[in-house]
């Protein structure tokens, strides 16, 4: 049998827009006649579909592709052609049309071919997983597609679970494998996001996804596909499904997620954190909520600061917990702040006193109030403050100038007039800042003094 090599397709750069439109219309007409009367030879059909695919990459001057008739022709050749070459080119052209022109998605759904796309996800041939998953993924936007029906009657969830399990067994995935996995994960994420009630249908994929994550080396950037898609997919899963999680995969997955978090905080700028790091923090929090004590202990060791020695915490920026605390004390992003504080709260078992004890009232109070959680009693806080002040005073009184071997100072030197004026001013500034936080309320001593006519203006020429 004679083999025909396909001619190189013409690109947009080689012809005018008017000529492109004429050729697109002619190709659509030829392919329509072909699916009605089968009047093209296989190599002619392949060449026509390949050329139409190239023209369809740029929707300008390609309008006939994006009509109801154009989508029907592409769909017919995608699912009925006996030639793998024709079918693949038609599927690629169809997927590009659904991506480029959202109005074509409902056209495809109305043709009733979604069930056929699901069927081809069962033990998919080369390229089928990528193309079928992408086409179904695009129909999650702005269509009447019923994914409940595709799951209940056509086993969509079963096919997706089987494909993810297959990827988990692949120890050396190729770039093409990762592309297919990415499309499958995007489809699963959108389904579980749009239809949370059917998320349990994908619980079987939790352990394989964790297995895939734990095997991956941290890439650069660390949260590019498919890593970010694996994380997003897990975030929508029913983590309460105990049978779906194996402890061995869980522990190794947590270790990998923390490693990714460590790398991500070094690589991404503040403006990128919301989209990249926040989903990872959310997933770690959800895992902490359902993890057994050994995994919780491991997470605490990796994420929480050690008890401070001599009242001082480490400030080494190479330590992950130091950088996490820095995002709490110097928030750059509301979602990242919430993600870190929520994760820490989960790791201390949701214990308010434990949270305040580990991180201090200053770091904890904002988080507690935004969630309508009771801040520890004022008495306890005052007692803690008094204790700290007393300790500081005692240590100050016992201070010694070791360089001169002097005895402890009996009393501080007399303050100048300027110092006695500046120190209260500084204190008032601190009071103002504290009041704006709404953490405490107080009666401003300046207002009280003004009401009693007690304010006395100082002479600016006094001793400075």
In the block, residue with structure tokens 């297919």: 180
Q: Provide CB contacts within 8 A for 437, sequence distance 6+.
A: 366
- Weakest mean pLDDT among 270-284, 291-305, 316-330, 430-444: 430-444
pLDDT, greater one: 393 or 297:
297
Beta pairing partners, 309: 312
Q: Provide CB contacts within 8 A for 249, sequence distance 6+.
A: 207, 210, 211, 214
Residue 409 lies in a domain: no
C-alpha span between 45 and 30 (Å, rounded)? 9
Q: Give the per-residue pLDDT at 89.
A: 96
Q: Show the tokens assigned to 287.
A: 């895992």
Q: Which residues of 47-62 are buried (b: 16+ CB within 10 A; e: fewer)?
A: bbbbbbbbbbeeeebb
Look at residue 454 and give its three-state secondary structure: coil
Residue 49 lies in a domain: no
Q: Show the tokens assigned to 19.
A: 């000529």
Predicted confidence (pLDDT) at residue 100 exceeds the cutoff of 50 = yes
In the block, residue with structure tokens 């390609």: 62
Contact call for residues 328 and 341 (beta carbons, < 8 A): yes
Look at residue 309 and give its three-state secondary structure: strand
Q: What is the pLDDT of residues 420-450, one digit of tens each?
A: 444 554 555 455 545 544 445 555 555 555 4
C-alpha span between 264 and 142 (Å, rounded)? 33
What is the average pLDDT score of the chain? 82
Q: Provide CB contacts within 8 A for 128, sequence distance 6+.
A: 120, 121
C-alpha span between 84 and 93 (Å, rounded)? 14
Q: Does an H or E element contain 80, and which?
A: helix 68-80
Residue 459: which domain range?
418-464
pLDDT, greater one: 402 or 12:
12
Q: Give the per-residue pLDDT at 7.
A: 72
Contact call for residues 324 and 333 (beta carbons, < 8 A): no
Q: Where are the beta strands (DSSP E) in 19-139?
A: none
C-alpha span between 183 and 181 (Å, rounded)? 6
Residue 405 lies in a domain: no
Contact call for residues 18 and 10 (beta carbons, < 8 A): no
- Weakest mean pLDDT among 27-36, 123-132, 254-263, 434-443: 434-443
pLDDT, greater one: 202 or 432:
202
Give 246's DSSP letter: -
C-alpha span between 445 and 237 (Å, rounded)? 55
Q: Give the per-residue pLDDT at 225.
A: 95
C-alpha span between 451 and 306 (Å, rounded)? 49
Q: Show which of 303, 336, 360 is a domain's final residue.
A: 303
Mean pLDDT computed over 331-359 = 81
Q: Show the tokens assigned to 321.
A: 């917990």
Residue 86 lies in a domain: no
CB atoms within 10 A of CB 451: 9
CA diameter of the chain: 110
C-alpha span between 47 and 119 (Å, rounded)? 27
Q: What is the pLDDT of residues 389-427, one digit of tens each?
A: 343 344 444 444 434 444 444 455 555 544 444 455 455
Q: What is the pLDDT of residues 162-190, one digit of tens each?
A: 999 999 999 999 999 999 999 999 999 99
Nearest to 264 by CA among 279, 244, 242, 246: 279
Q: Show which of 245, 273, 303 is a domain's final residue.
A: 303
Residue 360 lies in a domain: no
Residue 232 lies in a domain: yes
Q: Show which of 303, 319, 344 is a domain's final residue.
A: 303
Mean pLDDT computed over 237-262 = 85
Q: Give the per-residue pLDDT at 369.
A: 63
CB atoms within 10 A of CB 303: 20
Q: What is the torsional sign of CA 313, 319, 323, 325? A: negative
Q: Where are the beta strands (DSSP E) in 311-439?
A: none
Beta pairing partners, 312: 309
172 phi and psi angles, rounded to 5 deg: -130, 75
Residue 388 lies in a domain: no
Task: Say how many domains are in the chain.
Answer: 2
From residue 308, how far is each of 94, 302, 349, 359, 453 by CA, in Å? Answer: 61, 16, 20, 10, 48
Residue 173 lies in a domain: no
- What confidence tier does 105 reach under pLDDT thresholds 50, 70, 90? very high
C-alpha span between 390 and 273 (Å, rounded)? 41
CB atoms within 10 A of CB 102: 12
């Amino acid at each position: 049998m004679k083999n025909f090599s396909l001619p190189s397709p013409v690109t947009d750069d080689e012809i005018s827009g008017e000529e492109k439109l004429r050729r697109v219309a002619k190709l659509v007409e030829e392919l329509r006649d072909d699916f009605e009367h089968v009047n093209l030879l296989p190599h002619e059909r392949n060449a026509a579909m390949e050329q139409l695919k190239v023209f369809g990459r740029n929707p300008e001057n390609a309008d006939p592709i994006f009509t109801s008739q154009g989508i029907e022709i592409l769909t017919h050749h995608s699912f009925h052609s006996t030639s793998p070459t024709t079918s693949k080119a038609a599927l690629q052209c169809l997927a590009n049309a659904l991506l480029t022109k959202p109005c074509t998605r409902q056209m495809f759904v109305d043709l009733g071919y979604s069930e056929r796309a699901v069927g081809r996800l069962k033990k998919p041939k080369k390229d089928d997983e990528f193309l079928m998953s992408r086409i179904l993924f695009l129909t999650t936007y702005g269509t009447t597609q019923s994914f409940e029906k595709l799951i209940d009657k056509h086993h969509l969830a079963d096919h997706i679970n089987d494909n993810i399990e297959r990827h988990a067994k692949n120890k050396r995935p190729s770039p093409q494998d990762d592309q297919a996995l990415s499309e499958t994960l995007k489809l699963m994420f959108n389904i579980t996001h749009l239809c949370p009630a059917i998320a349990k249908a994908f619980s079987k994929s939790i352990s394989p996804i964790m297995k895939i994550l734990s095997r991956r080396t941290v890439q650069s950037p660390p949260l590019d596909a498919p890593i970010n898609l694996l994380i997003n997919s897990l975030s929508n899963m029913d983590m309460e499904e105990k049978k779906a999680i194996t402890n061995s995969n869980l522990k190794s997955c947590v270790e990998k997620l923390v490693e990714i978090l460590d790398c991500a905080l070094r690589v991404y700028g503040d403006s990128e954190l919301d989209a990249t790091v926040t989903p990872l923090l959310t997933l770690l929090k959800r895992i902490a909520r359902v993890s057994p004590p050994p995994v919780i202990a491991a997470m605490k060791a990796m994420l929480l600061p050690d008890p401070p020695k001599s009242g001082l915490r480490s400030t080494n920026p190479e330590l992950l917990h130091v950088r996490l605390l820095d995002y709490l004390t110097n928030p750059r992003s509301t979602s990242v702040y919430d993600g870190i504080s929520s994760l820490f709260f989960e790791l201390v078992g949701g214990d308010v006193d434990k949270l305040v004890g580990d991180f201090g009232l200053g770091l904890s109070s904002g988080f507690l109030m935004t969630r309508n959680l009771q801040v520890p009693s004022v008495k306890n806080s005052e007692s803690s403050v008094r204790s700290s002040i007393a300790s500081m005073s005692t240590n100050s009184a016992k201070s010694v100038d070791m360089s001169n071997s002097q005895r402890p100072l009996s009393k501080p030197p007399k303050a100048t007039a300027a110092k006695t004026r500046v120190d209260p001013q500084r204190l008032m500034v601190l009071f103002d800042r504290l009041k704006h936080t709404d953490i405490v309320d107080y009666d401003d001593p300046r207002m009280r003094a003004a009401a009693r006519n007690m304010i006395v203006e100082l002479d600016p020429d006094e001793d400075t």
